[in-house]
Amino acid sequence: MNTLIGCPAETEWHENRVALTPEVVTRLRRSGLDVLVETGAGRSACFADEAYVAAGARIAVRTEVFAQADILTVIHRPDCERLRSGQLVIGLLNPDHAPEELEAVTALSFEGLPRTLSRAQAMDVLTSQANVAGYKAAVLAADTFGGFFPMMMTAAGTVRPAKVLVLGGGVAGLQAIGTARRLGALVTGYDVRAAARADIASTGAAVLDLDVTAEGEGGYARTLTADEQAAQQRAMADAIRDFDVVITTAQVPGHRPPLLVPDAALAGMAPGSVVVDLAAGPLGGNVAGSVPDGRTETGNGVVVLGAGNLPAQVPRAASSAWARNVAALLEYLIHDGSVVLDPDDEITGGLLVRSKEAVS
């Protein structure tokens, strides 16, 4: 009997992505796997049930997907009361939150993927979704800003290009820089890591230097000390007033995002300026007063967009990238039709939250 991969619909508010696409269903079927997709799971990402059936999947109601699947592929942690003993669940499972909900199953959480391993790159949903988020952040900023991004030469005169500052030189930041540059803006990037500043410069963008450096482990920035953060915020408040648009992308895994744009910096920006906070979430964000999935406006007319889940606003592209990452992981784990979980393997060990029973 073939291993059965289940794909339920996502139920989080404003989540439009789906963990498997018809393209990847075809790929999994060629590998000898069976696929069960919940009715309407891909509808918000423009993948019809008929497309899944044509690719070789079966369509079922939610209860059947949870009851029958050997492996559940999800974006976010599913309704855990439906999980059954022995199942393998793969997704962004937020393993530090209520870990007891996952005790009955074998949980592989993408948050733990060792991202510096070259052989793990094809499985890296955090990187693929950060690319989508960076692209969408620049497009959203351009749509919200009341002026042009490119320089415009018209009979009524010449309009200067927008000046855009991107804070954070990781995957999302570099994609935001590249997209804003393609839209014609004058772009500057900033990061506390020397290697990331070199990456920013390689895109052709200018590099903002605030004399604060914070190299961390695994390619991430370390948490700034209180004195470093205060110095960074003072320098940022002085520098940020020269920009029309600011996009912030800085996060420290497992910790509150650093506050990069304090109230004093927002107060110095011109009316009509736009700030997009990709780090906005339950723990806070990079921007003072940003609200997750919300829009606020300061007293001086600066628009702040909390945008912590932008990939959900580009669901077709984001789902396609996510599903390919999932397929790469499944192909890595499944041998001769059975799942092989080796906790001593760097990739599996990083992903593994806990394992109660073998899955086969």
For 289-334, what is each residue's pLDDT tens digit? 999 989 999 999 999 999 989 999 999 999 999 999 999 999 999 9
pLDDT at 79: 92
Q: What is the CATH number of domain 4-114+316-354?
A: 3.40.50.720
User: What pLDDT does 319 receive?
Assistant: 98
Beta bridge partners of residue 352, listed in sequence order: 108
> Average pLDDT of 94-98?
86
Looking at residue 358, its pLDDT comes to 40
Domains 4-114+316-354 and 126-313 are alike in CATH topology: yes
And the tokens for 173?
């930041």
User: Is the pLDDT confidence value at 355 over 50?
Assistant: no
Chain centroid to CA 100: how far? 25
CA angle 354, 356, 360 (to 5 degrees): 105
Assign residue 168 a region: left if phi > 0, alpha if psi is -120 to 50, beta otherwise? left
Surface-to-core class of residue 18, CB atoms within 10 Å of its CB (0-12 exposed, 13-18 middle, 19+ buried) = buried
What is the reported pLDDT for 359?
42
- CA separation, residue 130 to residues 171, 172, 202, 291, 314 (Å): 6, 5, 19, 19, 12
Q: Please say whether the beta carbons of 77 and 91 come within 8 A.
A: yes
Q: In percent, how much of the chain has pLDDT > 70?
A: 94
Q: Percent of the chain at pLDDT above 90?
A: 75
- Answer with the residue of higher pLDDT: 126 or 253: 126
Q: Give the pLDDT of residue 280.
A: 94
| Domain regions of the chain by residue span | 4-114+316-354, 126-313
Q: What is the mean pLDDT of residues 200-210?
A: 94
Q: Retrieve residue 60's tokens.
A: 């079922």
Q: Over the stretch 58-83, which tens digit does the pLDDT of each residue have?
A: 999 999 999 999 999 999 999 999 99
pLDDT at 166 over 50: yes
Predicted pLDDT of residue 301 = 96
Q: Which CATH class is domain 126-313?
A: alpha beta
How far is 281 from 137, CA to CA, in rounded Å? 15
What pLDDT score does 55 carry?
98
DSSP 256: P
The two three-digit tokens of residue 162, written as one number = 């927008």
Over 50: is that where the pLDDT of 243 sits? yes
d(CA 296, CA 306): 8
Whether the predicted pLDDT of 215 surpasses 60: no
pLDDT of residue 220: 56
DSSP conformational letter for 81? G
Sign of the C-alpha dihedral, residues 221, 227, 230, 236? negative
